Structure 1
């Protein structure tokens, strides 16, 4: 049997009516997505009748292009484990990628948790990224009225603007809408679903560490320059957007690995619900020439992976966070408390060094 490398998993999400079905149809036709398994909730939700060949077994349908399509039977974990069993027993010849389509009302976090936290799945799968479809016609109203839609945008690695052929791209309304998306998630590229170029190449391989190649496109994955240079836009305070923000923590010197662990443990245990997403690359003191890749969703963090070398000349620690109802200054103070650079006034320094929970803004 040939060497097995973790299979990349992409999560396709987006609110009701955002165009996930049309987008899924289009990417399934791309030759780059051969040997892909698509996991959906109900076959009836996805218009792929023209691609169906036969139902090879309970819950699994083979498509004419060689891909597979299966429903979530019980738990997502069971469905993914069944795919691995089929691959290992030869019932599936090859499997190069998995795409999971969530329901329109779904919070994508539980899906990410399943991939990142289950001990068996972690051995066989790696999270490639979150793709969020956003309706260019009704997206503004959807964001105003549905917090789930806001979270779907906030955690995305790629934002796909659908129905752009029905709007005026030069209009002020569209400019404000795309600016709002950028404010919610400055690091995610906004891609039109009507781009003539092969769209699959823009949606997948988001840059996270790939064990099969031992490389990581950190610049593309973190896009920390977008977080540093984002433009602040004033929005209605009654909108959900006001509760979500994105920011970057940086540190020049290598960090003690125990201090890093304590910082992450305290942040996820005390603020897990507010920590929508966190990803980064960290220089650690024990082996500063081999940085760690950090990736978390709420209180669940993927096991840290050590790169064989820095992928570029920037050797700073860079942590990108997307949070909800969590003060950036609190996170920054906590981080610098553990890394030895407290960012507080002198009267608070002694209390901070003795008890990081004394940081102003801490919520138990």
Structure 2
């Protein structure tokens, strides 16, 4: 593996609570020509199933895991799925793989996902953690942080925190949420999906 160009492949982990906009963001990312050759590992879990449009548009680049929470019940399968991607690359069934995006369920603590990528002896040679992106809903973000420790964990481990739905709430509430997120994770880059400068 070490002599083959393209390794290690960057892996981004996308977290965010229910309704924060992960599916919308994935749709935008997969339509971006700059993100060609990206594999998206999604977790179809109850009501958080990725929409059919996304599956149809990028059926070759999407690997759907079986039902269950990505970070617990299918943790072993995530490792298997990543190992299968490496195998497909090495045998030529996939021509090129530029990056992998792993989407967790809304209720997921991202730490076990990160551990399964970074602590697996074979995967650590093939993949490198590129970062954790946490989506936070501007309308419900404060209540979500109050009511769910997993949401706090998602924000705490993120490299980038993306605020969504800020156009649907008061500016003072958005500022309070920004301040709170900065307190939870002072080193994370805070982005606003509705800010034209964010792109």
Tell me if TM exceeds 0.5. Answer: yes
Mapping for residues 35-184 of structure 1, pairs under 5 Å: 35-42=37-44, 45-49=49-53, 52=56, 61-62=59-60, 68-73=61-66, 74=74, 75-169=77-171, 171=172, 173-184=173-184
**Secondary structure in 1 matching 2:196:** coil
* CA–CA separation in structure 2 for the residues paired with 1:196 and 1:49: 25
* CA–CA separation in structure 2 for the residues paired with 1:118 and 1:82: 14
**Secondary structure in 2 matching 1:94:** coil
* CA–CA separation in structure 1 for the residues paired with 2:181 and 2:156: 8
Residue 185 of structure 2: aligned partner: 185
* CA–CA separation in structure 1 for the residues paired with 2:80 and 2:175: 43
* CA–CA separation in structure 2 for the residues paired with 1:185 and 1:49: 34
**Secondary structure in 2 matching 1:159:** strand
Q: Deviations over 1:12-57 (max 9, x none)?
A: 0011121111111112222221100000112971125156258xxx
Q: Deviations over 1:265-306 (max 9, x none)?
A: xxxxxxxxxxxxxxxxxxxxxxxxxxxxxxxxxxxxxxxxxx
Once structures 1 and 2 are overlaid, which stretch shifts more, 24-33 or 120-129? 24-33
* CA–CA separation in structure 1 for the residues paired with 2:6 and 2:41: 21
Query: Which 5+ residue runs of structure 1 have no aligned equivalent?
Result: 55-60, 63-67, 200-364
* CA–CA separation in structure 2 for the residues paired with 1:41 and 1:94: 23
* Partners of 1:25 and 1:47 within 8 A in 2: no
* Partners of 2:27 and 2:54 within 8 A in 1: no
Residue 194 of structure 2: aligned partner: 194
**TM-score of the aligned structures, taking structure 1 as reference length:** 0.48
Rg comparison, structure with higher value: 1
* Partners of 2:157 and 2:185 within 8 A in 1: yes
Which 4+ runs in 1 deviate beyond 4 A? none
- Give the structure with the larger helix fraction: 2
Give the aligned length: 186
RMSD of aligned alpha carbons? 2.0
* CA–CA separation in structure 1 for the residues paired with 2:112 and 2:161: 19
**Secondary structure in 2 matching 1:52:** helix
Q: Deviations over 1:163-204 (max 9, x none)?
A: 1111233x2x222111001000111111111233564xxxxx
* CA–CA separation in structure 2 for the residues paired with 1:78 and 1:27: 24
* Partners of 1:42 and 1:71 within 8 A in 2: yes
* Partners of 1:130 and 1:158 within 8 A in 2: yes
* CA–CA separation in structure 2 for the residues paired with 1:163 and 1:187: 23
* Partners of 1:6 and 1:125 within 8 A in 2: yes
Q: Deviations over 1:53-112 (max 9, x none)?
A: 58xxxxxx31xxxxx000225511000011111111111110000000000000001110
**TM-score of the aligned structures, taking structure 2 as reference length:** 0.86
Q: Relative CO higher for 1 or 2, CA cutoff 8 Å, sep ≥ 6?
A: 2
Query: Which 5+ residue runs of structure 2 have no aligned equivalent?
Result: 67-73
